[in-house]
A = this chain, B = another copy of it.
Amino acid sequence: MNFDNINVPQKLVPDNYWQLGLAAQRPKQRGFKELLEKRKLPANGWPDEHIEELVHQIASLDSNNFPHKVGLGEREARITCRLVSRRHYNFGHGIGRSGDLLEAQPKAAGSTLLAHLTNALILDLMQGLGLPSCRGCFLVPMCTGMTITLCLQSLRKQRPHAKYVLWSRIDQKSCFKAITAAGLEPMIVPCLVQHQALSTDINAFQQHIEDLGAETILCLYTTTSCFAPRNSDSIVDIAQLAKRCDLPHIVNNAYGLQISTISRQLERAQRLGRIDYFVQSSDKNFLVPVGGAIVASFNQTLLHLVGSSYAGRASGSQTLDVFMTLLSLGRSGYHSLVQKREDNFNYLKEQLIAFAQSHGEQVIESRENFISLAITLGTLCVATGQGSSITQLGSMLHMRGVSGVRVVIPGQKKTIDGHAFSDFGSHQTNLEIPYLTVAAALGITQEEIDKFFKIFHKCWTKFSQSLSENKTKQ
């Protein structure tokens, strides 16, 4: 509703007070107009009230919210539990249309607008984060892995006879499963190990292409964000290789959008080579609940192929989360989050190096990893004589409220969908020294880092003591 064209009687409120109130509405209304017409992320975040007002207004454009609707179809977006309708601001129709995520819905002008506007805002943000050549993107309400599967399925429609996906090994299950889920054949390209850090083996990629024949290969598949000491893949080199061999290239950029260096590398990779799709998680990059991913491309036509590969109509809940979050942050809010993360990463690194030095360990030098760090656990390993008990250290940290750290030890075997991985978790086959990883992801605070080191120190000491006690007993 609005107060325009309403002659509010003096009996309700004196005209001069009223006019002052009305005048104060104008900047807000201007903000709404600009957002819808220009489809750019506002420079500064909006107050909650404005966000909710807009969201409610948009929802009221959907047919399930029409006062006099008559629903004779099999799907009318009726919501029976009012707690549910309230938490969805009465949105019920989801996004896309049977069989295309990007199509408009005749029954749901509001949901349609919300989806397209959110995608536009994400695009605007991404272009400003170092990806000016990005031509489009959209939110898919599935995880990063499944969204990569969707991209692979789209590529397969173009290259029906190609079945191999060349994949630079990274020990994160869903990255790998994204290939098998699509019914494709993964070719695992091991990383190069140099001083314990891991990086992309370009030559191995090239060799595989020559061996298999480019026509049998669906695409190259790289990853930017990962646990140390694995580095971000050399996406510029692989992109050049892809271009040379006329092969599609998909980048798993799961949590890379929060790191400006990675965005700039993606841009450069496309300029010098070829990237067809790059996919990022919405929860990790936008701090919303798990459940969505952003597929982006430097080529709009390619994007539409992905949209039309989704067999149905999809949840709009993830879109709403990202929409509200972006409006709440504004461009400046997001950039400030990114900056803080970078500062905290540097702080974490300094502290970790200091910790390592004082405990006879070292932080593995993985220069192309901008988010995760690995510290060796060699002295503990020597002390125990057997690496496996070192996972205890991880449990100790977890019990004290520290989440997200991982202790990686040699000798873990794992088979996923018929493919065997030795030393799973370490991204390599010959792990020698166990290590522990920590990350500084978006939203981390310096307070958390400080707390972590306190707890880490305490656990380390306790763990060392228990080791020497055990020895004594023996």
A137 to B406, CA, bound (A): 33
The answer to whether A398 has its CB under 8 Å from any CB of chain B is yes
The answer to whether A292 has its CB under 8 Å from any CB of chain B is yes
A188: B residues at CB distance < 8 A: none
A309 to B149, CA, bound (A): 11
A182: B residues at CB distance < 8 A: 153, 183
Contact of A398 among B87, B106, B254, B309 (CB under 8 A): B106
| Residue interface mask A423-464, B partner, CB < 8 A = 1 | 000000000000000111111100011011001000000000
Q: Which residue of B lies closest to A17 (CB)?
A: B109
A416 to B308, CA, bound (A): 10
Q: Report whether A98 and B27 are in contact in the complex, using a CB–CB cutoff of 8 Å.
A: no
A401: B residues at CB distance < 8 A: 24, 63, 66, 68-70
A138: B residues at CB distance < 8 A: none
The answer to whether A193 has its CB under 8 Å from any CB of chain B is no
Known: A69-B403, A87-B88, A157-B417. 13 other contacts (CB 8 A): A6-B36, A8-B37, A14-B112, A24-B60, A49-B56, A73-B406, A76-B444, A77-B289, A93-B290, A142-B312, A145-B310, A177-B312, A315-B318
The answer to whether A62 has its CB under 8 Å from any CB of chain B is yes
Q: Which residue of B lies closest to A400 (CB)?
A: B70
A-B contact pairs, 29 of them (CB 8 A): A1-B2, A1-B28, A1-B32, A6-B37, A9-B39, A13-B116, A14-B104, A17-B106, A18-B61, A49-B65, A53-B53, A66-B401, A68-B451, A71-B404, A71-B441, A74-B371, A75-B283, A78-B442, A80-B286, A92-B288, A94-B290, A143-B310, A143-B312, A144-B312, A145-B311, A153-B182, A181-B310, A183-B183, A291-B314
Copies of this chain in the oligomer: 4
Within 8 A of B (CB), among A63-111: 63, 65-84, 87-94, 98-99, 104-110
Within 8 A of B (CB), among A321-343: 321, 324-325, 328-329, 337
Interface size band for A: 35 or more
* Residue with the highest number of chain B CB atoms closer than 10 Å, among A12, A53, A444, A448: A12
A195 to B182, CA, bound (A): 42
A285 to B87, CA, bound (A): 19
The answer to whether A388 has its CB under 8 Å from any CB of chain B is no
Q: Report whether B141 and A315 are in contact in the complex, using a CB–CB cutoff of 8 Å.
A: yes
The answer to whether A135 has its CB under 8 Å from any CB of chain B is no
